[in-house]
Amino acid sequence: MSLHPILTEKLSAALAAAEAPKLTLRDARLPAVPGKAHAVIGMRRAGKTTFLRQLLQARRATLPPERAFYLSFDDDRLADIDVEQLGFLLEEYYRRHPRLRGRETAYWFLDEVQLVPGWERFVRRAMDSEKIEFVVSGSSARMLSREVHTSLRGRGMATTIRPFGFREFLRHRGEEPGKPPRHWQPAERSLIEKRFREYLVEGGFPEAQGLDAAVRIELLQGYVDTVLFRDVVERHAVSQVAALRWLVRQCLRNPAGSFSAHRLHRDLKAQGHGVAKDAVHAMLGHLMDAFLIGAVPLATESERQRNSNPRKLYPADPGLIRAFDASGRSNLGHALETAVFNELERRGAEVGYVKTKGGLEVDFLVRYPGAGEDLIQVCTDLSSAETRARELRALAEAAREHQHAAQRLLVLDRDAVALARTAGVEAQPAYEWLLTRQAAV
């Protein structure tokens, strides 16, 4: 046997010098850990392939093209290839560039490599025997963080790519601010406030940028359908598809809502879906594994309390809210809270919500890696004195229970900041917080 002719063709194209396409730079970074294979994971269409190409461009800026190449296995002509073909690919590569073998490190960027059964064995063997560093990406259905660590036997590290954050959203438009908020001119701030409201409605999926509302909604609904059928139904052999669809609609239409498997099971039963409670729990887990939703548990040291209390669920992107909002009226408050949650995920924070002894709730208790704690309350409208008092009282009560946490109130725009000023609480527009540079995680 020999190398598949399509792989031969792809290798030739990959090794050729080519003009780099213009890409929107992503804020994610691979951890600088030598001797590891890096897996780029995340929801479908979030930009994993583009991120691989961005990494390739960075390598080729200082290396000849033969030392860094990108190859995609997402090709129906390669549907039946086996892991032996990866071995043939390795030998063909070094046959073309023998002087590199054992002397120079090569960088292989393999997209959708999970379509080749047994790819992990090849990567482990090649890392042991050759000077090659691998970056792979693939469908979230088969390449989860815990599976990367397991399949590569501790030699893999995962980096999650999510839809654009607000800074990337602005960068994509060529409008990323180059100075801190205190130095913005009034016109600059007005533009950012305008774009922020657009971001909360349109979201950050790269392909959805600049589309008309109807086209964008159809596109995002299609993404979700693909996730359901490819990453949940097919992978986990879920037979109760109607119940799964109902569950997804509930999660995406009611972001930041408190959900429990018990309540969802009861509601499904009322809708005529005979689904076991364990099956509901499993479905929620599958949706989280596919990066479609994220969950925030009650912030408590008691695992029993954490597991017995409802979790708050958030879509992977604020744009999904409008795409599944049956009323046609996007809730900016929920979209704002969703944007903050997803940014906390990008920053690698441990996140929970707080229920105070007095029964008040704070949206997020945040523990950053080695950088302290924040209590974060998110609010769009503080014009009501009653609302202001409630939100600030919740922060004050939570601060008494979490004395090492700073208090932060994130609001929709600058006009609300003056209304929220109180001792011990840092109030700021959410867009300023979202645009604050954080260490890459």
Is 246 within 8 Å of 275 (Cβ atoms)? no
How many Cα atoms occupy the beta-carbon half-sphere of 44 within 13 Å? 19
Report the distance separating Cα 55 and Cα 69, nearest Å: 10
**pLDDT at residue 409 is higher than 80:** yes
Q: How confident is the prediction for the chain on average, in pLDDT?
A: 92
pLDDT tens by residue, 410-435: 999 888 888 888 888 999 999 999 99
Q: Of the CATH numbers 1.25.40.10, 3.30.460.30, 3.40.190.10, 3.40.50.300, which one belongs to the domain with range 5-161?
A: 3.40.50.300
Q: What is the pLDDT of residues 374-391, one digit of tens each?
A: 999 999 988 889 999 999
pLDDT band of 41, cuts 50, 70, 90: very high
Supply the angle between the helices 261-270 and 277-289 in degrees, to the nearest 10. Answer: 110
Model confidence over 96-130: pLDDT tens digits? Answer: 999 999 999 999 999 999 889 999 999 999 999 99
Structural domain spans, the chain? 5-161, 167-434
Q: What is the pLDDT of residues 47-101, one digit of tens each?
A: 999 999 999 999 999 999 999 999 999 999 999 899 999 999 999 999 999 999 9
Question: pLDDT band at residue 153, thresholds of 50, 70 and 90?
Answer: confident
For residue 137 the two structure tokens come to 């990406």
Q: Do the strands 106-111 and 132-137 form a parallel or antiparallel pair, or are they unpaired?
A: parallel
**Confidence at 13, pLDDT banded by 50, 70, 90:** very high
Distance separating alpha carbons of residues 61 and 67, to the nearest angstrom? 11
d(CA 3, CA 86): 8
CB crowding 280-299: b at 16 or more within 10 Å, else e: bebbbebbbbbbbbbbbbbb
Mean pLDDT for 334-346 is 97
At residue 142, the pLDDT reads 66
What confidence score (pLDDT) does residue 138 get? Answer: 82
pLDDT for res 434: 98
Q: How far apart are CA 296 and CA 310, in angstroms?
A: 9
As a dihedral over the C-alpha atoms of residue 161, residue 165, residue 167, residue 169, rounded to 10 degrees, the angle is 100
User: pLDDT of 167-218, one tens digit each?
Assistant: 999 999 999 999 999 999 999 999 999 999 999 999 999 999 999 999 999 9
Residue % of the chain over a pLDDT of 90: 80
Does an H or E element contain 148, and which? helix 145-151
Residue 88 exposed, middle or buried by CB count within 10 Å (0-12, 13-18, 19+) = middle
- The CB-side HSE value for 61 (13 A sphere, CA atoms) comes to 7
Structure-block tokens of residue 206: 């790269």
Model confidence at 221, in pLDDT bands (50, 70, 90)?
very high
Q: Residue 149 pLDDT > 80, yes or no? A: no
- For residue 361, what are the β-bridge partners? 355
Q: Which residue has the tokens 């979490």?
A: 402
**Cβ atoms of 331 and 321 closer than 8 Å:** yes
pLDDT of residue 328: 56
Contacts of residue 413, defined as CB under 8 A and 6 or more positions apart, other chains included, come to: 193, 196, 429, 431
| pLDDT value at 330 more than 60 | no
Q: Which residue has the higher pLDDT, 258 or 327?
A: 258
Helix (H) / strand (E) containing 305: helix 303-308
Beta bridge partners, 294, equal: 314
Q: The pTM is what?
A: 0.93
Cβ atoms within 10 Å, residue 21: 9
